[in-house]
């Protein structure tokens, strides 16, 4: 876990006041159960994404919520698909073949 100053230190041009604004807007959601915010690895990755969107890609603030919402949906979909794949892999071979056939995939190909 990292604190706010440790996270801002990772970026030469990110000020604590800007990161606080991102937190206030809900763009980053560090753990706030203690006296200070604690940033997990996923929070730091989100800060890095926001930094890239704002600095490198010059994305306007008004577009950020939409982009974050779409990315969150993609991540949730990936997580769901991984869970479905895990369940499918635990099924008997004939069930796996039937699902692959229903998807239009050749069940004999990996």
Cα(7)–Cα(25) distance, integer angstroms? 17
Mean local confidence (pLDDT), 66-92: 96
- Return the half-sphere exposure (C-beta side, CA atoms, 13 A cut-off) of residue 91: 14
pLDDT tens, position by position, 2-52: 999 999 999 999 999 999 999 999 999 999 877 789 999 999 999 999 999
Cα(82)–Cα(79) distance, integer angstroms? 5
Q: How many CB atoms lie within 10 A of CB 7?
A: 20
Any idea which residue has 């991984």 for tokens?
82
Per-residue pLDDT band at 104 (split at 50, 70, 90): confident
What does the domain layout of the chain look like in residue ranges?
Answer: 1-61, 69-110
Cα(53)–Cα(84) distance, integer angstroms? 32
Residue 95 backbone dihedrals phi, psi, to 5 degrees: -70, -45
Residue 64 backbone dihedrals phi, psi, to 5 degrees: -60, -50
pTM to 2 decimals? Answer: 0.79
């Amino acid at each position: 876990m990292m604190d706010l100053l440790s996270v801002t230190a990772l970026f030469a041009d990110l000020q604590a006041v800007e990161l606080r604004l991102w937190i206030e807007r809900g763009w980053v959601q560090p753990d706030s159960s203690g006296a200070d915010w604690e940033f997990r690895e996923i929070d730091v990755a989100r800060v890095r994404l926001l930094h890239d969107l704002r600095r490198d890609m010059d994305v306007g603030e008004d577009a950020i919520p939409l982009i974050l919402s779409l990315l969150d949906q993609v991540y949730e979909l990936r997580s769901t698909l991984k869970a479905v794949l895990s369940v499918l892999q635990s099924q008997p071979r004939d069930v796996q073949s039937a699902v692959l056939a229903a998807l239009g995939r050749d069940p004999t190909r990996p």
